[in-house]
Amino acid sequence: MFTTGSKLFLGGTVLSIVAAVVVGVSYGGQVGLLGAIGLASAALAFAVLAGVNLFVRDCNVSAMQPDAATECAAAQQPAGRSMWPLVSAIALGLLVVGAETEPAVFKVGVVLLLAAAIEWMVQGWSERASADPAYNDSVRKRILNPIEYPVLAAIGLGLIIYSFSRIMLWIDKEGGPVIFVVIGVLVITGGAIFAARPSVKTSVIVGVCAVAGLGIVSTGAVMAIDGQRAITEHPSTSSDTAICDEEGPGTGEAAEIDHRPTQTVAARANLVVTVSLRDGKLTATELGLPGDRTVVTLGRSTPSNIMFRNFDDPERRFTVRMGAFTTTENGVTTTTKPQDCTQLVENGGEQMLTVEFPKPSFVSEEPYQIVVPGVEGQQIEIVVP
């Protein structure tokens, strides 16, 4: 009897009447009267619209057409079941919660609400596209599937990758490669089996993939909640005199040291000087100049990359002493001796240092030098023009 459109307007009519009564009684006086009049007017308007919808059976056709009541699309069937009202409700909930807690939750709510609005709108429109439900469904798919599939695939893939990263960050550093290899072998083996047996049912493949995916996601979720393993921050270089002057681990030096250069490939391929410690002797080679150098020339106000290679025991660090400068300010004389150094480098290891000298070497009260603390009588002089 009642069409969908008329239900909406009848609901509005009832709500307006109730609101008019509530406002009129609760506020009283002129305000209550004006409110009640306004809401009563709205109720009247809603009632008229409900009547019109009932008369034309929600159709955009002339009321004079006798077939309208039976042939127009809206009159054929009620709206189909839809999950989008529920999704919209959840999205609104996330918006409210997110506004008070995490911005990320709020953003998820916004995205979800937009997605639900689009899906709901297209579904609602497609259900009235014609009197043929199958055609209506195909119209909806034609519009939304090209968007839904890539988006869902990206979300699914992202979820698996994120879960996998949580797993790798949770497990032990040494165990990581093992797990990685095992999973890789399993994936390749599974793929090989499926490829070798084309007769395997699609449902079996989908089932296995779904179980594997769920396993990764659920494990990742558990490990994400538990938190990642402790990762020690270990800078490869230092400007701390307490460290640079020390033969062994310096004060405040990280226990875990990266013995390999942490710089980029581009920087490593751009060495100006290479310093080697072998049999207690320090030698240097300089880009473009033949043989070993006892004096190297580095540019002023421009970064220079120096590689240190240790071929001796024990672990050694490589220190660049960048002169000594005395300044007097407010009658107080201060001498600074800046230096840069690597962390300890094991036998066979190498470490790179990028240094920059803002002043020429003749300005300094002490020469610029490359030294290895603990190795006496060995230094390379640096000249900065």
Partner 1 sequence: MSQHVSLERSDQSVTTVQHMSFTRRHRLRIAAAGLVAVGFLAGCAKDAPQDTWQPAGTNAQTIQDLQWWVFAIAGVIGVIVFVVVGYSVVRFRDRGQEMPEQSHGKPSLEIGLTILPAIILLAVAIPTVSTIFKLAKTTDTQCVINVTGQQWWWEYDYPVQDGCMPGGITAPIVTSGQLVMPTETNVLLRITSRDVIHSYWIPRLNGKRDAVPGRMQTLRMQANQPGIYSGQCTEFCGLSHARMRMEAVALYPADFQTWVANQLTEYVAPEAGTLAATGEATYIANCARCHQVNGLTEAGTDADGNPTVTPVLANPDQYLVPGAAPNLTHLMSRNTFAGATWDLLTEACRPTVWDASPEDFGALYLQGVTPKCLNEYQLRQWIRNAPAMKPMYADPLLAGPAGGKLRGMPDLGLNDNQINELIAYLLERK
CB atoms within 10 A of CB 107: 13
Range in contact with partner 1 (rule: CB under 8 A) among 227-235, 243-251, 277-285, 292-300: 292-300
Q: How far is the CB of 320 from partner 1 (least distance, A)?
A: 17
Q: Contact between 295 and partner 1 (CB under 8 A)?
A: yes
CB-based burial label for 86 (10 Å; 0-12, 13-18, 19+): exposed
Q: Which of 300, 311, 337, 346 binds partner 1 (CB under 8 A)?
A: 300
Between CA 354 and CA 305 the distance in angstroms is: 4
Q: Contact between 134 and partner 1 (CB under 8 A)?
A: no
With beta carbons less than 8 A apart as the criterion, state whether 368 and 345 touch: no
State the pairing for strand pair 368-371/379-383: antiparallel
Q: Contact between 385 and partner 1 (CB under 8 A)?
A: yes
Q: Contact between 383 and partner 1 (CB under 8 A)?
A: yes
Between CA 141 and CA 128 the distance in angstroms is: 14
Q: How far is the CB of 338 from partner 1 (least distance, A)?
A: 14
With beta carbons less than 8 A apart as the criterion, state whether 317 and 344 touch: yes
Closer of 354 and 378 to partner 1 (Cβ): 354
Q: Contact between 151 and partner 1 (CB under 8 A)?
A: no
What is the token pair recorded at 111? Answer: 């995205």
Q: Which of 299, 314, 336, 347 binds partner 1 (CB under 8 A)?
A: 299
The one-character DSSP state at 65 is -
Q: Contact between 297 and partner 1 (CB under 8 A)?
A: yes
Q: Contact between 289 and partner 1 (CB under 8 A)?
A: yes
Q: Contact between 290 and partner 1 (CB under 8 A)?
A: yes
Q: How far is the CB of 383 from partner 1 (least distance, A)?
A: 5
CA distances from 289 to 273, 294, 297, 368 (A): 10, 12, 11, 20
Q: Contact between 200 and partner 1 (CB under 8 A)?
A: no
Q: Contact between 359 and partner 1 (CB under 8 A)?
A: yes
CB atoms within 10 A of CB 116: 21
Q: Contact between 237 and partner 1 (CB under 8 A)?
A: no
Between CA 197 and CA 85 the distance in angstroms is: 44
Number of residues that bind partner 1 (CB under 8 A): 27
What angle is formed at CA 50 by the lines to CA 46 and CA 53, rounded to 5 degrees?
Answer: 140
Closer of 259 and 300 to partner 1 (Cβ): 300
Q: What are the residues whose beta carbons fall under 8 Å from the beta carbon of 226, sequence distance 6 or more?
A: 170
The neighbouring-strand residues paired with 353 are: 306
Range in contact with partner 1 (rule: CB under 8 A) among 43-51, 199-207, 267-275, 277-285: 267-275
- DSSP element (H, E) containing 21: helix 4-27
Place of tokens 């230094």: 379
Q: Contact between 29 and partner 1 (CB under 8 A)?
A: no
Q: Which of 303, 314, 347, 365 binds partner 1 (CB under 8 A)?
A: 303
Q: Which of 61, 159, 267, 324 binds partner 1 (CB under 8 A)?
A: 267
Closer of 94 and 320 to partner 1 (Cβ): 320
Range in contact with partner 1 (rule: CB under 8 A) among 81-89, 186-194, 240-248, 356-364: 356-364
Between CA 370 and CA 379 the distance in angstroms is: 6
Closer of 108 and 267 to partner 1 (Cβ): 267
Q: Contact between 272 and partner 1 (CB under 8 A)?
A: yes
3 alpha-carbon distance from chain centroid: 48
- Interface residues with partner 1 (CB under 8 A) are 266-267, 270, 272, 286-290, 295-297, 299-305, 358-360, 362-363, 383-385
